[in-house]
């Protein structure tokens, strides 16, 4: 079973690329569900109060999805990898002071236990996206709970994404979104498809 995960900041285009790859390759698409997190809207208005609750709920949702992926016999493309929950979002809240040391330590122990039971992607695709593009996409899709996201929060996530990707150990495809418009330009999408084919051929 091939397992491809798409990583990237809020508004980077993960869901769109997941859908397009699923349709092109015939893979099963697994999407991140923000609707299943009852804390999310409260979190964006009071991050310190709701950080731990929100991140544990996301972690549990992501773990349940990953367990399903582990048992699948059909190729999977996933919108957001399991590791992003901890290495990006929880870590950002901790370093910015929105999640205290005690909560972060409890969260990290839970993440480590869960992670040890899960498969790693055969290929991780990272959508490297600058702040202006992220903000434009967030405004365009108009989700009410995302309109309150502070600029500093998105920029800090981008910094952590780049640090994580620079040290990522595993098959990786980095897509510079400033150079690829896979929605409007079919040649850009097929270049990504070609790069995926090449990368997966190396891990068979």
Residues 56/166, Cβ–Cβ less than 8 Å:
no
79 is catalytic: yes
Angle at which helices 14-25 and 186-203 pack, to 10 degrees? 70
Within a 13 Å sphere around the CA of 152, how many CA atoms are in the beta-carbon half? 6
3-state secondary structure (DSSP) of residue 72: coil
In the annotated binding site, the residues are: 8-16
**Which member of 36, 42, 79, 130 is catalytic?**
79
Q: Which residues are annotated as a binding site for ATP?
A: 8-16
Specify the 3-state DSSP secondary structure of 76. strand
Distances in Å between the Cα of 17 and the Cα atoms of 25, 33, 78, 88, 173 are: 12, 16, 10, 20, 13
Q: Could you give the CA distance from residue 160 to residue 27 in angstroms, rounded to a whole number?
A: 29
Q: How many CB atoms lie within 10 A of CB 142?
A: 8
Cα separation of 109 and 86, whole Å?
Answer: 10
Return the active site residues. Answer: 79
């Amino acid at each position: 079973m091939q397992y491809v995960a798409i990583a990237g900041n809020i508004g980077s285009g993960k869901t769109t690329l997941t859908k397009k790859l699923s349709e092109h390759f015939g893979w099963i698409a697994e999407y991140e569900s923000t609707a299943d997190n009852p804390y999310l809207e409260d979190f964006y208005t009071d991050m310190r109060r709701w950080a731990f609750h929100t991140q544990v709920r996301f972690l549990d949702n992501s773990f349940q999805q990953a367990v399903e992926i582990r048992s699948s016999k059909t190729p999977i493309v996933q919108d957001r990898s399991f590791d992003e929950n901890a290495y990006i979002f929880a870590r950002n809240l901790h370093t910015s002071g929105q999640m205290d040391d005690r909560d972060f330590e409890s969260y990290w122990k839970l993440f480590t236990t869960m992670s040890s039971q899960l498969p790693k992607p055969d290929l991780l695709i990272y959508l490297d996206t600058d702040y202006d593009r992220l903000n434009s996409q967030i405004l365009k899709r108009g989700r009410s709970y995302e309109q309150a996201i502070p600029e500093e929060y998105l920029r800090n996530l981008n910094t952590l994404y780049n640090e994580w990707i620079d040290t990522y150990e595993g098959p990786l495809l980095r897509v510079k979104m400033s150079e690829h418009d896979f929605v409007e330009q079919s040649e850009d999408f097929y270049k990504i498809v070609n790069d995926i084919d090449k990368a997966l051929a190396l891990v068979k």
